[in-house]
Structure 1
């Protein structure tokens, strides 16, 4: 296995190192690429340079760090994927956390996203705000993922002079992110209304080609996503932010070209290599149960059939005791695009908002069906109209290797929208289809599963940490990381205090928005 060959020391870069460079304001404004700032300013290159690392690390695009940062965490806990490889006695899959896996999401975010966002701010804010605005959007896209992994994080105090950087509560982080999106959308909207030519095209590695209008639309859509995250803990703010996004003159994603997708030629999704080349990850049993039960035409766009079972999409159940390499021959992941947000997801977000009585410019059912159609369109798959009428539900899972891993289907809702059903039944349908359309981006799927409980997923078979994370609870967050404990002890201690104390720094502690209350 590739992951067993990596040295922990190669990735455990302390936050102290990442932040200290931002305290040296003279140093941070020096160009790392060999030319003076005066030379670089000829084509805004001193501002453009930090965007490369930011683009490459919202979703980490190199396979081995992606495997640490997301694949062995959210991709598995979301029910999207499962490992066909054996591990040590305890690991993330069986709820015994490994710090050498879990540290990379934090360290990468501060080194590559926060540090470079600060560089753009210092070089562009108040002078070239179009660059600053887009950097804010990328920063929110990346760091919203980090707070949704760990909870409290270093945010408002990042880069301030000193040697101790306290964390913000997750509530404070979300409020600041909404404010940052306000700044970015207001600035870019003025430029769109003035028909201002973009200066960002050469820097933009997405299909947007630097369009200020499309970046503003993505920011509105991102606002809608974050608003829905907090609907149970602060429904009034969630409604306000969601309706602000949808009612804005530029609005949210509605057509295929609105999706934020990185250019495929240079930015391929790393999970394909992890699955098909390294054979470390496979289709999950949950995917087989739900998509297989629906006979979903998108299966062929998402997965390669199982080598050991020709023509079949055979998934691996999560958290099982793997004693041989047989499961490596189950279905493989085939991720052709690196997508930050799909148009389909936005339709499902609006569908949930409409279900809650918000003004989402459409009914819950119509927006739900539009989301399915948008997902089929994204993947070039036909048959959406027939699929929308599907009354079948998830199927039972049968492990051909061991009956111990068999499971009775649990997510028993059809595709056909149940307009006469309860809010809870309709929400389960909406989230199930959002879960399918979001593949393979497991971070957002894991967040929505924690928030709503949907789709219902199989419980792990082997829990090696039942006294910490009960099997029925599942993983709610990742504990604060060793690089912080060593490099920023004041911040580390402030984070522990914000989550309720040192004894709460584990995977069973719910985040701020992850309440135990009902969905409605």
Structure 2
């Protein structure tokens, strides 16, 4: 696989520059044939052009090397989903030798291509076209949830202000994200109640077609995800926000028609390109162990059988010694799920699993934990077009299988997960089942899977054997966050200083985030 190094010209990297890049937007976009600013505002063209980039940049779906740097070389491997068995000059994030030239890309891209544009929408729409401001807030929260869950402290409340931008703590960011969702849900819900014709239709690049009610469902479901993320560090607030999401009049995702999907403008899936065209991205050993042990029918949707081990699904263990970039080139590559040209922002299955965990914690989730858990599995089976959910759900025998590396027996390992699928007897066992099934259903979003692994310790994953962090990152605990970007150290050093001050530890990959607390799940 070829690693394409970032080369950007005429682009602003610091947060101040990200704002200034759009400061003269109106001047640059004046219609040369005479359209006036009021004309542009009448058609919302001065707003629509700013929101469009988010649909391809939140999960980069149009440029493969950019997605590679945004997520593939980090969370997709740390989640246990897939791995790239390559070392680029001795460097590979999956071996915990973190490469800062790669790891700042997600931050830079989010601020330059999404947050800066959404800030301009706030300036143009707030108090005037609040439906667009509300929409921008939902996308802002979706973007910043990913960024803060990668890095921790970040620029949120101070974005676009005077002087160098200081960072909010992650606790402050979560509080502000809940407030932003409050505004968005309240505004759009009122428009649904008034039967207002959507102004989003021409701009919405998702499968929602501009539907206000569907975007409210997504906002509520996103709130539920955020609430669960903070369940161990602030259980009182988590319960309040989760119950607010589920009890809302429009509610959360409940059927697979609610799944939020974006179609790639190029009708490609960048993960498929990396796996097949580049021949450098393969199924992780954890996928083989867990899905293989359960004889999970989603395996055939997620992965292609191995060529080297004919007729079998064969994964590559993450963080081992890879003799050559092609040693494992005939193991399982990505399957039909990543050939659709679609990117899923959030699934109905995930929402059922969130509700199941909430019910397990004693929250009012409009259902009992067991039923919600089983509904999540059924939703995932239906989403992937496979049958047999009832038998799968009731199976209390099958467990994850041992991993065998046919090339190097030193990489063999007994299975680390011992749970069955069928609902169990204790909260801890059932939480492991919920998170393991959510891990399966959330594929291929390694970012969300990595975050839940850090929060709960589930699913249980194989440890790496070739830790090259120089003693910084524990093999047992794995990578907990990404260090702040080099672009910020260069262009906003006071901001980085403010971020480190509220981080709670050193600016490295071993420091836990605010919600990643070292305590029992219950």
TM range (shorter): over 0.9
Between the aligned partners of 2:427 and 2:287, the Cα distance in structure 1 is 24
- Seen in structure 2, the aligned counterparts of structure 1 residues 378 and 497 have a Cα distance that, compared at 3 Å, is same
Deviations 1:148-193 (A, max 9, x none): 000000111001122x111000000000000000000000000000
- Written as runs of structure 1 = structure 2, the 5 A alignment for 1:485-500 is 485-500=489-504
Please tell me whether the aligned partners of residues 12 and 104 of structure 1 are also in contact (alpha carbons under 8 angstroms): no
Q: CA deviation at 1:19?
A: 2.5
- Written as runs of structure 1 = structure 2, the 5 A alignment for 1:34-183 is 37-61=37-61, 62-162=63-163, 164-183=164-183
Please tell me whether the aligned partners of residues 85 and 318 of structure 2 are also in contact (alpha carbons under 8 angstroms): no
Give the aligned partner of residue 479 of structure 2. Answer: 475
Give the aligned partner of residue 516 of structure 1. Answer: 518
- Written as runs of structure 1 = structure 2, the 5 A alignment for 1:216-255 is 216-255=216-255
Between the aligned partners of 2:290 and 2:145, the Cα distance in structure 1 is 28
- Written as runs of structure 1 = structure 2, the 5 A alignment for 1:2-401 is 2-3=2-3, 6-10=4-8, 15-16=13-14, 18-22=15-19, 26-32=23-29, 37-61=37-61, 62-162=63-163, 164-263=164-263, 266=266, 268-324=268-324, 325-334=326-335, 335=338, 336=340, 337-391=342-396, 392-401=398-407
Q: CA deviation at 1:21?
A: 5.0
Q: CA deviation at 1:12?
A: 11
- Seen in structure 2, the aligned counterparts of structure 1 residues 25 and 70 have a Cα distance that, compared at 3 Å, is closer
Between the aligned partners of 1:500 and 1:458, the Cα distance in structure 2 is 28
Structure 1: which 5+ residue stretches go unaligned? none
Between the aligned partners of 2:226 and 2:10, the Cα distance in structure 1 is 29
Deviations 1:366-396 (A, max 9, x none): 0000000000111111111111122201000
Deviations 1:376-434 (A, max 9, x none): 1111111111111222010000001000111110111111111xx21110000000000
Q: Does 1:439 align with 2:443?
A: yes
Please tell me whether the aligned partners of residues 12 and 112 of structure 2 are also in contact (alpha carbons under 8 angstroms): no
Please tell me whether the aligned partners of residues 14 and 487 of structure 1 are also in contact (alpha carbons under 8 angstroms): no
Between the aligned partners of 2:315 and 2:501, the Cα distance in structure 1 is 41
Between the aligned partners of 1:304 and 1:346, the Cα distance in structure 2 is 28
Between the aligned partners of 2:492 and 2:136, the Cα distance in structure 1 is 25
Q: CA deviation at 1:39?
A: 4.3
Please tell me whether the aligned partners of residues 13 and 107 of structure 1 are also in contact (alpha carbons under 8 angstroms): no
Q: CA deviation at 1:320?
A: 1.0
State the secondary structure of the residue aligned to 2:345: strand
Q: Quick check: 177-186 or 46-55, which moved more?
A: 46-55
Between the aligned partners of 1:389 and 1:366, the Cα distance in structure 2 is 12
Please tell me whether the aligned partners of residues 86 and 92 of structure 2 are also in contact (alpha carbons under 8 angstroms): no
Give the aligned partner of residue 430 of structure 1. Answer: 434
Q: Does 1:414 align with 2:411?
A: no
Please tell me whether the aligned partners of residues 55 and 138 of structure 1 are also in contact (alpha carbons under 8 angstroms): no
- Seen in structure 2, the aligned counterparts of structure 1 residues 9 and 265 have a Cα distance that, compared at 3 Å, is closer
Please tell me whether the aligned partners of residues 60 and 67 of structure 2 are also in contact (alpha carbons under 8 angstroms): yes
Q: Quick check: 427-436 or 46-55, which moved more?
A: 46-55
Deviations 1:250-305 (A, max 9, x none): 00000011110113675543111111111111100000000000000001111111
The normalised TM-score by structure 2 is: 0.95
State the secondary structure of the residue aligned to 1:464: coil
Please tell me whether the aligned partners of residues 230 and 513 of structure 1 are also in contact (alpha carbons under 8 angstroms): yes
Between the aligned partners of 2:289 and 2:91, the Cα distance in structure 1 is 26
- Seen in structure 2, the aligned counterparts of structure 1 residues 231 and 393 have a Cα distance that, compared at 3 Å, is same
Between the aligned partners of 1:26 and 1:259, the Cα distance in structure 2 is 35
State the secondary structure of the residue aligned to 1:56: helix
RMSD: 1.7
Deviations 1:101-150 (A, max 9, x none): 10100100100111011111111111111111111101110111000000
State the secondary structure of the residue aligned to 1:315: coil
Between the aligned partners of 2:292 and 2:23, the Cα distance in structure 1 is 57
State the secondary structure of the residue aligned to 1:288: helix
Structure 2: which 5+ residue stretches go unaligned? none
